[in-house]
Amino acid sequence: MTQSLPVSWSTVEATPAQVPVQAEKLSNYDLVLRCQAAHRPEKAAFAELVRRHQPHVEKVLYHLAPDWSDRADLVQEVWIRVYRNIRRLNEPEKFRGWLSRIATNLFYDELRKRKRNAPPLSLDAPLSVDDGEMDWEIASTTPGPDEDMATREFYDHLREAIADLPEVFRTTIVMREIQGMAYEEIAELTGVSLGTVKSRIARARFRLQSQLQIYLDDH
């Protein structure tokens, strides 16, 4: 008890000094440090981290689980895990990679649960869900001013082609292209050899490039 008191006093003294600096102006590194300063992450700093990295989390989960309808819940769960564990992040400069891993681990946790719970659905559901997802995507994707019809069409085909990849290939290529993981990290996360990772990435690329050749050569 006597040891915990000075600690709490020091944080009380430290926070007023930091208040004038707004969270939006801090670097990711400083935001993480600020979240780690107290027992619970400071709300302003945490909110800024969410604001900056939410699109990345969504993108990762979108590509890992294109046919899951409850991705918003997963995104939320990722941030709950971040909230709880951010003090354990020893290298704040690696926040984004750490965040990616949290999202990936959550995806695998969920995948295991779903495979255990609902195997009979796998034959019918993916097709119909895929169609629904694609319709929804087209409706909700607002093209930028310089995004012409051809580009949109290309992206739609690319999205479809990625979603159509067998699961192990899709997750591996997503970890590489979207999450920027090294082969070794992917091997560790997916529990396969380095050679398998290398081969899966090459095969996924090969399939995508042959399916999308027309668009890829145009660009």
Partner 1 sequence: MSGAVPIRGSDDEMTHNPNSHNSNNLPFAMNQHTSGSLNTMQRDRFELLSAYLDGEVTAAERKQVEEWLATDSSIQRLHSRLLTLRQAFQSMPVPASECSAEETVERVFALVERRPRLSLVWGGAAIAALFVGAMATLFSTENPLVPQMAKSPERIEAPQSPTASNEPLLIALDRPLVTIPKAPVAQSVSSDDKDETGQNPSHENVR
**Chain contacts with partner 1 (rule: CB under 8 A):** 40, 43, 46-47, 50-51, 54-55, 58-59, 62-63, 72, 75-76, 79-80, 83-84, 136-137, 140-142, 144, 154-155, 158-159, 162, 166-169, 173, 176-178, 182-183, 192, 198-203, 205-210, 212-213, 216-217, 219
Complex with partner 1: residue 9 or 206, whichever CB lies closer: 206
Smallest gap from residue 63 Cβ to partner 1 (A): 8
Q: Please answer whether residues 157 and 212 qualify as being in contact, where contact means their C-beta atoms are separated by less than 8 angstroms.
A: yes
Smallest gap from residue 47 Cβ to partner 1 (A): 4
Smallest gap from residue 62 Cβ to partner 1 (A): 5
Complex with partner 1: residue 8 or 76, whichever CB lies closer: 76
Take residue 69 and report the two structure tokens written for it: 């309808």
Complex with partner 1: residue 23 or 101, whichever CB lies closer: 23
- Under 8 Å CB-to-CB from 104, ≥6 apart: which residues? 60, 64, 171, 175, 179, 189
Complex with partner 1: residue 4 or 13, whichever CB lies closer: 4
Per-residue burial over 115-151, b = 16 or more CB atoms within 10 Å of its CB, e = otherwise:
eeeeeeeeeeeeeeeeeebbeebeeeeeeeeeeeeee
- Alpha-carbon span 216 to 213, nearest angstrom: 5
